[in-house]
Amino acid sequence: MSDNNLNAQKRTIRLAKMGMLVAISVVLVYFIHFPIFPAVPFLEYDPADISILIGTFAFGPLAGLGLTVVTSVIQGLTVSAHSGAYGIIMHIIATGTMVLVAGLIYGKGKTKKRAVTALAAGSLAMVVVMFFANLVVTPLFMGVPREVVMTLMPMILAFNFVKAGINSTITFLLYKRLSGFLRR
């Protein structure tokens, strides 16, 4: 087999694996989504970011960002259609921030300690970015004054910490078990 054919085959296999991760993410959201805090029932936990983070660790931060965009659009048009463009945009901002930060850090040395640091830094970056994204995007899409969003901000921040923490923990526990398959 020529080098061109071998490279094309490797790219096709990688793309198929990434497509599988997107499909897993969408299926997870379909079956698992629930509010964490009753006071803000529109903020629902879902495990979609787990397969995206696993893909980020396996294929790099740019691949993770691609997985984020594709997953967000598919989810936003199907299983999470009730959130519309707002949900798509916020998912891309939140998860995109997390995977870029985590992927860049983890890519510098793929150790367990680096994975913990990467996931913690990605989670923190997501929480910080979502603070500002909620101040800008939420009033536009929800048609509420920024002051209303500020009154909800403690719950929004707590939600993002909890969601990122759960998804990071599960990613950490699963990644090494799955990485051999994804890298083959």
- In tens, the pLDDT along 51-91 reads 999 999 999 999 999 999 999 999 999 999 888 999 999 99
Q: How many CA atoms, within 13 angstroms, populate the side-chain half-sphere of residue 64?
A: 30
Angstrom distance (rounded) from CA 63 to CA 71? 12
Is there a domain that residue 41 lies in? no
Residue 15 has pLDDT above 80, yes or no: yes
| Residue 90 in domain | yes
Q: Has residue 37 been placed in a domain?
A: no
Total count of residues recorded for the chain: 184
Answer whether 58's CB lies under 8 Å from 171's CB.
no
pTM of the predicted structure, to 2 decimals: 0.94
Domain hosting residue 104, numbered range:
3-30+46-183
Report yes or no on 14 lying in a domain: yes
Query: Is 149 within a domain?
Result: yes
Nearest to 70 by CA among 43, 97, 96, 46: 96
Residue 36 belongs to some domain of the structure: no
Does any domain span residue 165? yes
pLDDT one-digit tens code per residue, 138-162: 999 989 999 999 999 999 999 999 9
> Residue 119: which CATH number?
1.10.1760.20
Number of domains in the chain: 1
What pLDDT, on the 0 to 100 scale, is given for residue 181?
83
Residue 12 lies in a domain: yes
Taking only the tens place, the pLDDT of each residue in 90-136 is 999 999 999 999 999 999 999 999 999 999 999 999 999 999 999 99
